[in-house]
């Protein structure tokens, strides 16, 4: 792969090829339209090809270059905006296209090397505020089934496509404009759109569930837990990601050994190139009351209540009917690991509630069915 030139070389006058071929260097000399069907155009030589493989494209002009073509960068290509003291704007207008083939767009692919757009100075400007639905700067990721997923980095909504079909109507990942030095690439900063993340206590374990609406080059999810208010985080395990998907996908993970007190959880969303971001943090409090078992259920003459937790803890057992009336109440010392029987033969058939409460106020509620 050809080594990319440093930004400082963008102002050097290059010897150019005279025909549109891959692997070349293409420099704009004047403001104006990117593509022209007649006349010399803005380029010192040939216009960059539609599919530019291992290309260096330099927009080093004082003024505006208007993108009126669709260009795909592959093989480690770079589009440089500005440099050498020039204040350059790349303007992406509205093509009114209904397919990407006829759009005004720059496609950054994640294949064949890192393909980038580089804004050199604080006065250089990428302006896609007036771009149409299929226009802008996009990540273009081919799938193994012959389809291509598109994720819009700069431009107006919609956000994501599979081929020419909209799969996500959200806003572009970065927005509509970028003023000042920046680098965009075909991997993006967060190729995973997380639409839901939940954590819930299920007996003695914490169930985590999350949903992604879009994945581009995703690698895996790291499931992390903190028991010291976020001071330190431990990775409990990983779940493989789909890689590329524009459909809603559901994932789950169970923490079978949560700590006592407050457990905080977050997801590390990791891309194939190693970049990552974190989800929001969710908290689940594990009280003294854990792993309460009620059996037999349904019950006839008696019901056993087995109490989890530490052996030296005190717990309160209450049996309620459907009207909220307390039918039985038992205070148990050194309760953890013990089994407490309750006689229920005198109660009519129906549904009842058993509530076990710990000294710290935590409690577990179980439904009980009594039959005759």
Domain ranges of the chain: 7-185, 192-286, 293-370
Give the model's pLDDT for residue 246.
66
Strand partners, 152: 138
Q: What is the mean pLDDT of residues 139-148?
A: 84
- Across the chain, mean pLDDT equals 85
Mean pLDDT computed over 359-364: 75
The number of C-alpha atoms within 13 Å of 238 and in the hemisphere containing its C-beta is 11
202-217: average pLDDT: 83
Which of the pair, 362 or 263, is modelled with greater confidence? 263
- Of 148, 362, 367, 170, residue with least CA distance to 244: 148
d(CA 259, CA 113): 44
CATH T-level fold of 192-286: Immunoglobulin-like (2.60.40)
Q: Which of 159-168, 253-262, 319-328 has the lowest mean pLDDT?
A: 253-262
Check residue 288 and give its pLDDT: 63
Query: pLDDT tens digits for 265-282?
Result: 999 998 877 778 888 889
Length of the chain: 372
Confirm whether pTM is higher than 0.85: no
State how far the Cα of 321 lies from the Cα of 328, in Å rounded to an integer. 10
Give the pLDDT of residue 311.
Answer: 62
Q: Residue 5's pLDDT is what?
A: 31
In the DSSP assignment, the letter for residue 3 is P
Question: Residue 10 has what pLDDT?
Answer: 31
Q: Give the residue from 95, 115, 110 showing the smallest Cα distance to 48.
A: 115
Handedness of CA 160, 166, 168, 169 (dihedral sign): positive
Which has the higher per-residue pLDDT, 250 or 372?
A: 250
The radius of gyration of the chain's CA atoms, rounded to the nearest angstrom, is 31
Instruction: Of 133, 118, 142, 210, give the one whose Cα is nearest residue 172.
Output: 133
The yes-or-no verdict on residue 11 having pLDDT over 80 is no
The answer on pLDDT for 123 being more than 50 is: yes
Q: Percent of the chain scored above 90 by pLDDT?
A: 52
Q: Mean pLDDT throughout 279-296? A: 81
pLDDT in tens, 307-358: 876 667 788 999 999 999 999 999 998 888 889 999 999 999 999 999 988 8
Q: Which CATH number does 293-370 carry?
A: 2.60.40.3080
Torsion of CA 313, 318, 319, 323, to 10 degrees: -150
Distance CA 209, CA 200 (A): 9
In sequence order, the 6+-apart residues with CB closer than 8 A to the CB of 9 are none
DSSP H helical segments within the chain, as ranges? none
Q: What is the mean pLDDT of residues 90-110?
A: 95
pLDDT of residue 22: 56
Residue 66: pLDDT band with limits 50, 70, 90: very high
**What's residue 40's pLDDT?**
82
For residue 18, pLDDT over 70 is answered with no
Helix (H, G, I), strand (E, B) or coil at 13: coil
Which position has the token pair 């056993």?
304
């Amino acid at each position: 792969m050809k080594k990319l030139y440093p930004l400082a070389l963008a102002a050097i006058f290059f010897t150019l090829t005279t025909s549109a071929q891959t692997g070349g260097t293409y420099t704009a000399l004047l403001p104006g339209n990117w593509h022209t069907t007649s006349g010399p155009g803005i380029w010192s030589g040939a216009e960059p090809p539609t599919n530019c493989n291992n290309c260096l494209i330099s927009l080093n002009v004082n003024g505006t270059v208007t993108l009126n073509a669709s260009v795909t960068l592959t093989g480690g290509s770079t589009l440089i905006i500005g440099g050498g003291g020039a204040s350059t704007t790349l303007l992406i207008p509205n093509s009114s296209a209904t397919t990407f083939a006829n759009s005004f767009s720059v496609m950054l692919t994640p294949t064949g090397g890192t393909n980038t757009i580089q804004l050199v100075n604080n006065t250089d400007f990428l302006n896609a505020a007036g771009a149409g639905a299929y226009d802008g700067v996009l990540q273009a990721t081919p799938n193994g089934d012959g389809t291509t997923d598109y994720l819009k980095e700069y431009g107006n909504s919609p956000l994501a496509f599979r081929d020419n079909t909209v799969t996500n109507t959200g806003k572009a990942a970065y927005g509509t404009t970028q003023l000042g030095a920046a680098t965009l690439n075909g991997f993006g900063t967060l190729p995973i759109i997380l639409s839901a993340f939940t954590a819930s206590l299920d007996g003695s374990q914490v169930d985590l569930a999350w949903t992604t609406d879009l994945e581009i080059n995703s690698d895996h999810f790291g499931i992390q837990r903190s028991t010291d208010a976020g001071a330190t985080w431990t990775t409990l395990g990983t779940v493989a990601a789909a890689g590329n998907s524009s459909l809603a996908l559901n994932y789950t993970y169970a923490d079978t050994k949560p700590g006592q007190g407050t457990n905080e959880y977050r997801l590390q969303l990791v891309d194939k190139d190693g970049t990552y971001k974190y989800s929001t943090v969710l908290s689940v409090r594990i009280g003294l009351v854990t792993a309460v078992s009620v059996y037999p259920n349904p019950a006839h003459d008696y019901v056993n209540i087995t109490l989890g937790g530490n052996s030296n803890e005190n717990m309160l057992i209450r049996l309620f009917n459907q009207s909220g009336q307390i039918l039985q109440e038992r205070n148990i010392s050194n309760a953890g690991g013990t089994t407490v029987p309750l006689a229920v033969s005198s109660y009519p058939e129906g549904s009842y509630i058993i509530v076990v409460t710990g000294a710290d106020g935590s409690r577990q509620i179980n439904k009980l069915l009594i039959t005759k």
